[in-house]
């Protein structure tokens, strides 16, 4: 099975050379979705699914060989990325021809996808670093895509920030290797569970985990690492912004979840930092994520209300929404009972899915609006509802999903998040979440009024909306509704993913590190 996957990844990197790149690229996107569906089926959905599959690259055994691991969590994240990727690929195919000289767009898009795929599937920390870099290099170019003054500046800050982050990531990885003598995540988990048995002094692990967390938080755009997001998101072309918000950002979330629960959950490392104390690094991770998540919800929400263009609102809203994903993760990290932990991770995953779909939809709508009207500033826009009803409805559905109105996908995401927080019994967090939801209503309403309501200025009056772009939007909107209405299978998939995320022992067993070197 994973041979299929590796083949998909390999062709992904080779594709794009030919001139007929649009067609090839679309076929590749479709192939990618099929490959991901195959993985989903094989790993999770099939009646006799093993729940986890591993592939040792080059047949070198773990922990020294490179391991690819697909479990429920990876499969869930991959499916999410695949949906967003296919939508934005189709969208780009229509969007792109308006900008000539952009021969590198599709190959880079696939490299971005390749990096994301690799990050979801890799079984060791250093390869996670490498895949991050693959993903980031592609995204750097996209941020600088239009080549205007504003875009190069945004790209420069994005690059500079990520170079520093990469250096920190290396420090964390190197430190973990020095402390534990392994880079394989399963092996790491095994050794940290029983540090004495392996003759390891686990003391520095907590600090190193802090370093890694800060790196992942940068990727996920959590406060206080959020400052690059508005510039980068509004500088990138809308389909790429959809990818950045829908898939790249989720890699940061995935890494946090993976590191926290698969690697660290069983760790027997005493933590005592004065304020927090416990016998696992999670005791340190949990409160930290609480603070970061709550700050993100507030900063993102407040920031979004005051923007003057749709991209600005959406970029800030991304910061806020990531807070909604991270808070349940924090609940899970501090949870005492395994049941609550599972529910909280489940909530985070469902919300992440909702955010990927809804934000992808919204960013693509911005692309359509910009294509049609040539601007995305509120003061120049208005009255789109009359001109392009389908586009408006799609945007409206996305906005409602962000707010969390039933029966859309957002409702279940929000519901589960609140459920987890209520069960954890944390009143201040609940207050923050409620405040964040109110802010969401405020800024989506504002975006809606500014762009789609009111009198139509000339640019809108003369605008023609591309039918294929709208078709993509309507399809995504239908998916958002579909996920909400037919929530049951999605819930079961997310449940499998959450269980897999917490099943460190199963993960270790499947990867089977520590085998003899052939």
Partner 1 sequence: MTAFILAVVIGALFALGTFLVMRRDLVRVVWGLSIVSQAANVYLLAVGGVERGTFESVPVLAGHGEAAPETADPVVQALVLTAIVIGFGMTAFALVLSYRVYQEHGTLDVTKLGDRQ
User: Nearer to partner 1 by C-beta: 147 or 455?
Assistant: 147
Least distance CB 119 / partner 1 (angstroms): 14
User: Nearer to partner 1 by C-beta: 79 or 139?
Assistant: 139
Q: How far apart are CA 389 and CA 396, in angstroms?
A: 10
Least distance CB 63 / partner 1 (angstroms): 8
User: Nearer to partner 1 by C-beta: 150 or 492?
Assistant: 150
Least distance CB 424 / partner 1 (angstroms): 37
User: Nearer to partner 1 by C-beta: 177 or 396?
Assistant: 177
Taking Cα atoms as reference points, which of 456, 474, 238 lies closest to residue 366? 238
Burial class (CB in 10 A: 0-12, 13-18, 19+), 182: buried
- DSSP H helices in 374-486: 384-387, 389-403, 409-424, 427-452, 458-461, 467-485
User: Nearer to partner 1 by C-beta: 215 or 388?
Assistant: 215
User: Nearer to partner 1 by C-beta: 107 or 484?
Assistant: 107
Least distance CB 141 / partner 1 (angstroms): 8
Q: Cα(first)–Cα(last) distance of the chain, in Å?
A: 23
Taking Cα atoms as reference points, which of 482, 269, 507, 186 lies closest to residue 357? 482
Angle at 167 between CA 176 and CA 238, to 5 degrees: 115
Taking residue 46's Cβ as centre, other Cβ atoms within 10 Å add up to 10
Least distance CB 298 / partner 1 (angstroms): 25
Q: How far apart are CA 104 and CA 125, in angstroms?
A: 30
Least distance CB 203 / partner 1 (angstroms): 16
User: Nearer to partner 1 by C-beta: 211 or 430?
Assistant: 211
Least distance CB 145 / partner 1 (angstroms): 12
SS (HEC) of 318-360? HHHHHHHHHHHHHHHHHCCCHHHHHHHHHHHHHHHHHHHHHHH
Q: Is there a contact between 418 and 497 (Cβ–Cβ < 8 Å)? A: no
Q: Is there a contact between 214 and 225 (Cβ–Cβ < 8 Å)? A: yes
Task: Tell me, rounded to whole angstroms, the distance of Cα 480 from its chain centroid.
Answer: 17
Least distance CB 505 / partner 1 (angstroms): 22
Residues 6+ apart with CB under 8 A from 48: none
User: Nearer to partner 1 by C-beta: 127 or 280?
Assistant: 127
Would you state the structure tokens that stand for residue 466, as one six-digit string? 């591309």
- Which residues sit at the interface with partner 1, rule CB under 8 A? 64, 126, 129-130, 133, 137, 140, 144, 147-150, 152-153, 155-156, 159-160, 163-164, 166-168, 170-171, 173-175, 177-178, 181-183, 516-517
């Amino acid at each position: 099975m994973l041979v299929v996957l590796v083949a998909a990844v390999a062709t992904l990197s080779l594709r794009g050379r030919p001139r007929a790149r649009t067609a090839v690229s679309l076929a590749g996107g479709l192939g990618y979705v099929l490959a991901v569906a195959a993985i989903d089926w094989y790993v999770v959905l099939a009646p006799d699914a093993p729940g986890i599959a591993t592939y040792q690259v080059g047949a070198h055994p773990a922990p020294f060989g490179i391991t690819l691991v697909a479990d429920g969590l990876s499969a869930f994240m991959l499916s999410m990325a695949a949906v967003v990727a296919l939508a934005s690929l189709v969208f780009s195919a229509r969007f792109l021809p308006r900008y000539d000289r952009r021969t590198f767009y599709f190959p880079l898009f696939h490299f971005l996808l390749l990096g994301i795929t690799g990050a979801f599937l890799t079984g060791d920390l250093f390869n996670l670093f490498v895949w991050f870099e693959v993903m980031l290099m592609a995204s750097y170019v996209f941020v600088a895509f239009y080549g205007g003054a504003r875009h190069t500046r945004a790209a420069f800050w994005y690059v500079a920030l990520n170079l520093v982050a990469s250096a920190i990531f290396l420090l964390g990885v190197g430190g973990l290797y020095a402390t534990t003598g392994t880079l394989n995540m399963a092996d790491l988990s095994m050794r940290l569970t029983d540090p004495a048995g392996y003759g390891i002094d686990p003391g520095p692990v907590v600090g190193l985990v802090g370093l890694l967390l800060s790196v992942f938080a940068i990727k996920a755009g959590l406060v206080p690492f959020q400052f690059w997001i508005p510039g980068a998101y509004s500088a990138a072309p809308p389909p790429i912004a959809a990818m950045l918000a829908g898939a790249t950002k989720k890699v940061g979330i995935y890494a946090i979840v993976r590191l926290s629960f698969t690697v660290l959950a069983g760790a027997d490392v005493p933590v005592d930092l004065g304020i927090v104390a416990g016998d696992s690094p999670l005791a340190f991770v949990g409160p930290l994520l609480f603070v970061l998540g709550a700050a993100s919800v507030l900063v993102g929400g407040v920031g979004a209300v005051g923007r003057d263009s749709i991209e600005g609102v959406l970029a800030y809203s991304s910061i806020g929404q990531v807070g909604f994903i991270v808070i349940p993760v924090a609940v899970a990290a501090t949870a005492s009972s395994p049941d609550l932990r599972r529910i909280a991770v489940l909530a985070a995953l469902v919300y992440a899915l909702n955010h990927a779909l809804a934000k992808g939809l919204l960013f693509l709508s911005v692309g359509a609006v910009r294509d049609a009207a040539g601007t995305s500033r509120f003061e120049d826009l208005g009255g789109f509802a009359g001109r392009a009803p389908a586009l408006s409805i799609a945007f409206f559905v996305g906005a409602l999903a962000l707010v969390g109105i039933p029966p859309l996908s957002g409702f279940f995401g929000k519901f589960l998040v609140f459920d987890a927080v209520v069960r954890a019994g944390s009143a201040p967090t609940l207050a923050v979440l409620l405040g964040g939801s109110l802010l969401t209503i405020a800024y989506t309403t504002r975006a809606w009024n500014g762009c789609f309501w009111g009198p139509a200025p000339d640019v809108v009056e003369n605008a023609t909306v591309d039918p294929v772009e709208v078709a993509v939007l309507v399809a995504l909107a239908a998916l958002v509704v579909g996920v909400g209405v037919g929530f049951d299978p999605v819930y079961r998939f997310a449940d499998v993913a959450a269980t897999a995320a917490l099943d460190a022992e199963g993960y270790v067993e499947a990867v089977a590190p520590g085998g003899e070197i052939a």
